[in-house]
Amino acid sequence: MKQREEFVNLLQRLIGEQNFREPMELEAYGTVINKLKNLPDDYYQLPIIDLDGDENELAPIKFEELMSYNFPDSEWLVENLIPAESVSVISGYPGSYKTWLLLDLAIRVAKGEKFLNQFQARKAKVLYIDEENDLRLFKERVKALCDDKSLDIEFLSQKGFKLKKSQQIVNYCLKNNIKVVLMDSLIRLHNLDENSSTEMAKLFEEFKKFKLNGISVVFAHHNRKSKKGGSNPKEDLRGSSEIAAFLDNALSVVAPRRAKQIMITQSKLRQGRELYPFIVDIQKEKDKTRLAFNRYLEDEEEKLTKSEIAQERIIVLLNKHGKLNQKQIIGELGSGRDTVGESTAKSAIKELLRTNRIVSQQGKGSELLYNLAEGESVLP
């Protein structure tokens, strides 16, 4: 424990020995670790708390001490959407614009602009780690999103990076004043079993290193195959429940085929109340693409009727499954927690046909099959 005591003493001197108590303030060592130029590498691996040591080393604080602390207000990387110094996910099925959203997020943070033309981003330097797409595709998509020739964004593409090397990235970020790390996608960044709570708990210990050093992380992740009853953002995240439990913030994306709009649902926000689901327009003109906030799906002034809810769930079902007959649609909507009755389902199908959002075609015998109309989106 001598090495640990020396480390703590050195940190005390660095921060002026003001209100320094273990273990709470010791977590702040990440903000000054880059100043420890002459220490051997093993100092970087010291635990915050040694549970095998003396019980006094745990140093719990009293209730009165906790109440006396003046913590700063919560800070945002993207106002009301993505907290600063947090771990967030953007999840969805393949082709749901996850990578587009991450790239646009990188650009707006680097420029200090509004993300989706709605949520103000705090300007910061960004590192984008991508193990799925090559630099050629990166360049094409970045050019589609902006005309800038110089931005505070660095790319690490297809280098075989794994999260077990997270400390290397943390050290690089501290050295280069990078405050935001974006990762695409989680499955490419480890060799563990995503369905194992034990292995995912180990994986997310690596993410803690970023948080303790004041670095925000947003990663892309896939949703699991749909269950009956349609999409449920709080349950669709693929893998162990340990993933969702660790996250500070979760955004789920739904995008129909040939989408002109996507729907984003904030299913978790540890720092406060989640936003209502909202719609984002996908605006494409020649070689340019723009992602722009359209409206909240359900706010204080806009409540959906049962029929409207059923219509949107039918759109999601047809997007996921393709052609379905009336009996299959009614069966899907009648299962799960938020069930829809048969008469409501039939009424919703008729309204979708009337408004040309879905089309019907002849199946076997007298059976009618329903599918999305060309160019159909999540909401009208």
- Which residues span the domain enclosing 56? 2-68
Residue at which a domain ends, from 31, 51, 68: 68
3-state secondary structure of 146: coil
% residues pLDDT > 70 (the chain)? 77
In terms of domains, do 62 and 84 share one? no
Over 90: is that where the pLDDT of 297 sits? Answer: no
Over 70: is that where the pLDDT of 9 sits? Answer: no
% residues pLDDT > 90 (the chain)? 49
Residue 44 resides in a domain? yes
Rounded CA-CA distance 108/250 in Å is 19
Number of other residues whose CB lies within 10 A of the CB of residue 78: 24
Residue 51 resides in a domain? yes
Residue 377 resides in a domain? no
Residue 380 resides in a domain? no
Q: How many domains does the chain fold into?
A: 3
Higher pLDDT, 231 or 267: 267
In terms of domains, do 88 and 123 share one? yes
In terms of domains, do 276 and 223 share one? yes
Rounded CA-CA distance 334/316 in Å is 15
Higher pLDDT, 241 or 4: 241
In terms of domains, do 191 and 155 share one? yes
Mean pLDDT for the stretch of residues 355-367: 88
What's the chain's average pLDDT? 82
In terms of domains, do 199 and 275 share one? yes
In terms of domains, do 252 and 327 share one? no
Q: H helices within the chain, ranges in order?
A: 2-14, 63-68, 98-111, 135-145, 166-175, 197-212, 241-246, 306-321, 326-333, 342-354
Higher pLDDT, 168 or 297: 168
Identify the DSSP state of 304: P
Residue 33 resides in a domain? yes
Rounded CA-CA distance 251/98 in Å is 10
What integer pLDDT is reported at residue 3 of this predicted model? Answer: 56
Over 80: is that where the pLDDT of 24 sits? Answer: no
Report which of 314, 312, 352 is spatially closest to residue 330, judged by C-alpha positions. 314
Rounded CA-CA distance 41/58 in Å is 25
Higher pLDDT, 365 or 111: 111
Q: Which residues have C-beta within 8 Å of that of residue 143, sequence separation ≥ 6? A: 287
What integer pLDDT is reported at residue 47 of this predicted model? Answer: 44
Identify the DSSP state of 222: E
Residue at which a domain ends, from 262, 296, 330: 296
What integer pLDDT is reported at residue 86 of this predicted model? Answer: 96
Report which of 216, 197, 204 is spatially closest to residue 126, judged by C-alpha positions. 216
In terms of domains, do 126 and 209 share one? yes
Q: pLDDT digits over 134-190, tens only?
A: 889 889 999 999 999 999 999 999 899 999 999 999 999 999 999 999 999 899 999
Report which of 181, 256, 186, 176 is spatially closest to residue 221, judged by C-alpha positions. 186
Report which of 158, 110, 115, 153 is spatially closest to residue 134, judged by C-alpha positions. 158
Residue 379 resides in a domain? no
Q: pLDDT digits over 27-47, tens only?
A: 445 545 444 445 555 444 444
CA atoms within 13 A on the CB side of 353: 13
Residue 41 resides in a domain? yes
Residue with tokens 């007959």: 325
Over 80: is that where the pLDDT of 76 sits? Answer: yes
Higher pLDDT, 251 or 2: 251
What integer pLDDT is reported at residue 364 of this predicted model? Answer: 86
Residue 125 resides in a domain? yes
pLDDT range class, residue 23, cuts 50, 70, 90:
very low
**Which of these ranges, 50-54, 96-100, 104-108, 352-356, has the smallest mean pLDDT?**
50-54
Over 50: is that where the pLDDT of 77 sits? Answer: yes
